[in-house]
A and B are shown apart, each in its own frame.
Chain A
Amino acid sequence: MKSMKSRRGGGNDRGGIRKRGPTRTDRDGDMDMDASGARAKRNRAEKSGLGGRLAGAGAGGRAAGASSRAHARKKMDDVLERAIYSLDEPTNFPRGKKPSSDLEPFSVRGWKSSKAASNRDGGVESLIAFLERRMNSFMKSGPRAKITKSRTEGDTLIAFVRPDLAGHMLRINNNVFAGAHVTVEAYTAATALENELAAADTGPNSTTDIKTRMTTILGKRFFPATKLLDLSKMLDDPDMDSVEFLNTASTKSKFFPALMKVWEMGFKTTAERLEAVESVSLAGNKLSNINPVTTLAQSFPDIQYLDLSDNNLKNSQAMIGWRWKFRNLIFLDLTGNEISSDPTFKDTMLKWYPKLQTLNNVQVRTPEEVAAQKKTPIPILPPHFIDESQVGENFVRAFFPGYDNDRNSLVSSVYDDESTFSLNVNTTATRAGQTETAGWGEYIRKSRNLDKISHLSARMSRSFKGVEKIREVFNSLPPTRHPDLIAKAEQWLIECHPVPHLPDPTGQSPTGVGGLSLMVHGQLEESVGGKIELRSFDRTFIIGPGNTPGGIRVISEVFSLRAYGGHEAWSPEIQALSQIPQVAVPGPVLTPSPAPPAAAAPGGNVAEGYGLPRPGKSDAQLQQEQMVIQMSEKSGMTFEYSEMALAGNGWNVELAWKNFEQLKATNALPPTAFLAPA
């Protein structure tokens, strides 16, 4: 054990998974084959109720001694296989799912220190009788309370009851059973893992020990450079050859969920975790269905490459748990599995995984076909950003850093006593991958989703008017971190256009004043209970002139939050033009503009009224048309290209001209960009 300890070092393995890299740490799994390890194992095998086979196998392995290690090893493999990847054991790790649809599980702890613990059965029977008695004492009528099903996990009794008894179960919490206070809680995935780790508790360090072992296994199997997590042939891993380890965390099919949990603990943020791995291999693990490893889909929802070759997967039913998972999968290898010879195999996998391109090393879909699928009836164009004197741009540049760093000053600088604000949470939003979402906490208490909040009083109390109310609500919301607007520009989609007839703060104009509508889509990071959570948001501001320090105020604002949905959805489908300058110039990018006005005929034939005021034409549009005409005259480009140049540079004439000159100098503009000689 000595070398294990020294390797454990500071004991803090947070983030260690990443740092460790592909280098194989020295193997000393054998170190645990000492007396204390074996003793611990035997105790636990008995306690865990795993039955004689594991205890027997372990004992056999030990009795055999070093001379027949190969034999022991074989036996160990059998046990491992059954323990880790067992078929007959259902997935015992209820990640948010109840084991039985109509029963609710509760964990009962603390009874091990009761007087009843010395009973032959450890006190389980009298504990159950006690729980039933207590529940019945709370009830006045109805069917009698009963513990329908139960099992023990280490020092915890898992008791299953009808849902209507849930309240009564919880009331027993902290009651005294045979001289000991018992703790009764809803049994969750977290409790399960805790029990799992605690079940190994033969010494003060063993929980850490298991974690360290798992970290070691993950560390040597994670290749950060290629973003690969290679969990193939786990049964042959020498680090799995640790009796202590096996008998505890691996009992039944809990090894893998625990391994995933340890992996997740190695990352500070969800984003970092999701980005770390693109490929996972589970090849050669003798899996006959994916149940034991199903939690892979929660920890790695976005992987693109999945190798399941050389397992025993017989048909699609064996993989049904992953039917709606891995939405970004482009490569799937199931060679060496019976499922591959099923005549419907290819069609099923194509249907299950919309982005799948390579199945069993054969191309089944082209990238074009994938793109065509994603294609929406309305093409995705770059943001439409029609600003006025950079007011919108400056607002956004100041707002989000201000919201992250100093909400007090932000509120004082851009809100006034007429400003209104409300937020709403879309709790059922479509997500990117299968990322789990943290609870909405403070947001949900203030959410004004009108679909759910129907009472007038609630609709009123969830809308905030004036500097002080808005300050209060902003300060009650969790601290956030938005990505950098420039360095991470692709994570933002910001659009802007003028809006007329806003309230005039001076009251002078009967028709109101003009302002801007700003629509911002993006993501934010937030610290929830020490863990960084990633969320997506949509936030619309109506801004106009005001008596604020900067002369601009928020008139109305609605902040909409949802589970993280990525930013792929707004990456433009039309890249052709925007790619040219990426090579030619590092400066502003000429991008195709949204729908050139019909009047701007490509050949330069100007439709009647283009560039001239007419009823219904807004001042902003008129101004743009005139800018297009000037740009066209100066550059010789068609109206269409002139508008692209302007729109692509935020309607800044100088930038657009500079952009044009650079493109022209590098011959990056097609001949059709220019007007035909008259």
Chain B
Amino acid sequence: MTAASEDTLTKVSTEAATEFVKTFYPALGLNRGSLSSYYSLEPTTILFNGNRVADGAAVQEIFTNQMSPTYYEVQSYDCQIINKAYPTVLPGGGLKPLSERGVKDMSILIIVSGFVRYGEGRDQPQRGFSETFVLVPNPSAERARGRKDWLIESQNFRLVV
């Protein structure tokens, strides 16, 4: 593994954040059946307004079966690399060998600011939210289309307005 330059690290992390934000929020509204695919299999903490949710499957279940229509709009977001040498754990257990680790083996902090409308129609009030994510590398070796390079390790959603 060679140390990546600051340019590369910035490019990779900010593009990962953009890709995530631009697909995850629309999915919350329109593609709820795909939600679990955004999550790590063993996320540490998932919170919605202080309610703890077990995992990605539970998030998908809640959004699919219990939520009114929602419309999210992201107004601002930013990210920082947390660990640029993230100890990615292989699906079969055990750490990914150092020789196989690349620039994408990084964990990323993302903070998003925007609004959400619950219910149908533009007349519904806009509720401001702030949401924090920690994304970690996807350990799966699968190379299928639409494979996500990063998955949600923790998530904290809060209505703030």
Contacts and interface: CB of A to CB of B under 8 A. Distances in A.
A384 B159 contact: no
A519 B158 contact: yes
Contact of A500 (B17, B44, B70, B118): B44
A459 B10 contact: yes
B80 A422 contact: yes
A440 to B, nearest CB: 11
B147 interface: no
A428 B114 CA distance: 9
Given A498-B44, A503-B85, A569 B128 contact: yes
A449 B51 contact: no
B47 A495 contact: yes
A654 interface: no
B65 to A, nearest CB: 11
Contacts of A70: none
A635 interface: no
19 contacts: A378-B157, A379-B49, A381-B50, A382-B50, A384-B52, A386-B45, A426-B76, A430-B128, A448-B78, A450-B78, A456-B7, A495-B156, A501-B87, A501-B136, A512-B83, A517-B45, A517-B109, A558-B78, A560-B76
B25 to A, nearest CB: 12
Contact of B134 (A428, A511, A517, A569): A517
Contacts of B134: 499, 517, 542
A114 interface: no
A424 interface: yes
Given A495-B156, A557-B80, A566-B161, A521 B130 contact: yes
A550 interface: no
Contact of B83 (A424, A432, A501): A501
A471 interface: no
Contact of A431 (B52, B118, B161): B161
B140 interface: no
Contact of B51 (A378, A556, A618): A378
Interface in A486-506: 493, 495, 497-503
Interface in A370-404: 376-384, 386
Interface residues of B, number: 63
Contact of B52 (A459, A501, A555, A594): A594
A616 interface: yes
Given A451-B75, A538-B130, A560-B130, 11 more contacts: A376-B49, A421-B80, A425-B76, A427-B76, A493-B160, A495-B50, A501-B87, A502-B83, A521-B130, A569-B128, A594-B47
A236 B86 CA distance: 74
A426 B80 CA distance: 17
Interface string A590-624: 00001101100000000000000000101000000
Contacts, number: 202
B36 interface: no
A594 B51 contact: yes
Interface of B: 6-7, 10-11, 14, 17-18, 21, 41-42, 44-45, 47-54, 66-68, 70, 74-87, 95, 107, 109, 111, 113-115, 118, 123, 125-128, 130, 132, 134, 136, 153-154, 156-161
Given A499-B134, A521-B160, A459 B14 contact: yes
Contact of A450 (B14, B42, B118): B14
A463 interface: yes
A351 B54 CA distance: 38
A558 B127 contact: no
A130 interface: no
Contacts of B115: 429-430
A165 B53 CA distance: 58
A422 B160 contact: no
Nearest to B130: A538
Interface string A555-587: 111101010011001101000000000000000
A558 B136 CA distance: 17
Given A459-B14, A517-B134, A540-B109, A594 B50 contact: yes
Contact of B160 (A381, A383, A497, A565): A565
B68 A569 contact: no
A463 B160 contact: no
A536 interface: yes
